[in-house]
A and B are shown apart, each in its own frame.
Chain A
Amino acid sequence: DTGVSQDPRHKITKRGQNVTFRCDPISEHNRLYWYRQTLGQGPEFLTYFQNEAQLEKSRLLSDRFSAERPKGSFSTLEIQRTEQGDSAMYLCASSPPRGDGSTEAFFGQGTRLTVV
């Protein structure tokens, strides 16, 4: 399967613990996005990578959140000192470069985080 892969699919953690999620994009895609989705809402943009460069971060991404994409391949999203409000589905998407400026984003199935 050559789709976007996320690991783990589910994570339950105690408040205050750190968690790290991984995303493996489609191999030829240079753009990678992280989104967060809570129940009954659409995905909210968190951060964007073009190759290994993190070019944009949402103000939703507090100091406790950090994302990396070493070597422009897989990406990790770390949340430090988790809070109950961090409980959500974390979605990763990748897209190829498009000359027309559109974004053909392919989404992974997400990592569901529950903070107890």
Chain B
Amino acid sequence: GEDVEQSLFLSVREGDSSVINCTYTDSSSTYLYWYKQEPGAGLQLLTYIFSNMDMKQDQRLTVLLNKKDKHLSLRIADTQTGDSAIYFCAESRSGGYNKLIFGAGTRLAVHP
């Protein structure tokens, strides 16, 4: 199947860490991506990870990949109000012209 699943909503306090989770079903996924969408704006690529890696860190963002369980997570350290947005997990596969298959998105709400 082509399912990418995410929890729909996450609420965190400013300054705490946020962890957004994603599961996917296709073992032929080659790359996994995290996109951010703010109201009225296009999708912004945050980071991506090759399926042979298990971790990638980029400033406040840490991506963890458990290929065996087909589980991907995005950790945002020191979450700020500007991080409030919808976060989409996506995958691409070899032989699929690199098209992206997205989850339904997780809405992150950051409160004081």
Chain B residues touching A, range: 20 to 34
Which one of A13-21, A44-52, A66-74, A76-84 is at the B interface?
A: A44-52
Q: Give chain A residues whose Cβ lies under 8 Å from the Cβ of B94.
A: 101
Selected from B88, B98, B102, B104, the residue in CB contact (under 8 A) with A95 is B98
B101 to chain A, nearest CB (A): 7
Most buried by B among A33, A101, A106: A101
Q: Give chain A residues whose Cβ lies under 8 Å from the Cβ of B97.
A: 48, 50, 55-56
- Interface membership of chain B positions 68-90, coded 1 if the CB is closer than 8 angstroms to chain A and 0 otherwise: 00000000000000000000101
Interface size on A (CB < 8 Å)? 30
B100 touches A56 (CB 8 A): no
B98 touches A31 (CB 8 A): yes
- In the complex, A34 Cα to B57 Cα: how many Å? 30
- In the complex, A52 Cα to B31 Cα: how many Å? 25
A32 to chain B, nearest CB (A): 11
Interface of B: prevailing SS: strand
Most buried by B among A35, A42, A91, A102: A42
Q: Which residues of B contact A (CB under 8 A)?
A: 4, 30-31, 33, 35, 40-45, 48, 50, 88, 90, 92, 94, 96-105
Q: Which residues of A contact B (CB under 8 A)?
A: 3-4, 31, 33, 35, 40-45, 48, 50, 55-56, 91, 93, 95, 98, 100-110
Selected A-B contacts with CB under 8 Å, 17 pairs:
A33-B100, A42-B4, A43-B43, A43-B100, A48-B99, A50-B97, A56-B96, A56-B99, A93-B100, A95-B98, A102-B31, A102-B92, A102-B98, A103-B92, A103-B99, A103-B100, A105-B100
